[in-house]
Amino acid sequence: MQYQDLILYRFPGEDRRHMSLLREFAELIVRCSADEPVSVEEQQTLRTVYYRCAGRLFEIASSHGFSGNLWQAYLTLFLVDAENAYSISCEKRGERANSSVNDLARHDLSVIKELFDFDLEILSRELAVDGIAELRAFQSADENGFVFNRRIRDRIQELAGELAQAKDVADFQKALSVFYEQFGVGTFGLHKAFRLSHDEAGALMVQPITRIAHVSLSDLVGYEKAKQKLIENTEAFVKGLPANNCILYGDAGTGKSSSIKAILHQYYDQGLRMVELYKHQFQDLNPLIGMLKNRNYRFIIYMDDLSFEAFETEYKYLKALIEGGLEKKPENILIYATSNRRHLIRENFSDRDEQDDDIHRNATVQEKLSLVSRFGVSIYFGAPEPQEYDNIVLALAERSALTLPREELLAGARQWELAHGGRSGRTAVQYITYLSAK
| Angle at alpha carbon of residue 256, lines to 251 and 262, rounded to 5° | 160
* Beta carbons within 8 Å of 134's beta carbon, 6+ residues apart: 58, 70
Q: What is the pLDDT of residue 359?
A: 47
Q: Are the beta carbons of 108 and 199 closer than 8 angstroms?
A: no
Q: How many CB atoms lie within 10 A of CB 45?
A: 11
Pairwise CA distance, residues 397 & 220, whole Å:
13
Query: For the chain, how many structural domains are there in total?
Result: 3
Residue 202 included in any domain:
no
Q: Are the beta carbons of 425 and 390 closer than 8 angstroms?
A: no
Q: What is the pLDDT of residue 164?
A: 95
Q: What is the pLDDT of residue 402?
A: 86
Q: What is the pLDDT of residue 346?
A: 56
The boundaries of the domain holding residue 93 are 3-190
Q: What is the pLDDT of residue 370?
A: 62
Residue 195 included in any domain:
no
Instruction: Say how far residue 134 (Cα) sits from the centre of its chain.
Output: 31
Q: What is the pLDDT of residue 313?
A: 61
Pairwise CA distance, residues 191 & 169, whole Å:
28
- Which CA distances in Å does 417 have to 83, 212, 223, 252, 425? 51, 28, 19, 13, 10
Q: What is the pLDDT of residue 310?
A: 59
Same domain, 15 and 131: yes
pLDDT tens column, 291-321: 898 888 999 999 888 876 655 566 666 776 6
- Residue 260 belongs to domain with CATH number: 3.40.50.300
91, 329, 283, 77: which is closest to 188 by C-alpha? Answer: 91
Same domain, 289 and 409: no
Same domain, 370 and 406: no
Same domain, 219 and 182: no
Low-confidence residues of the chain, pLDDT below 50?
A: 12-15, 349, 352, 355, 359-361
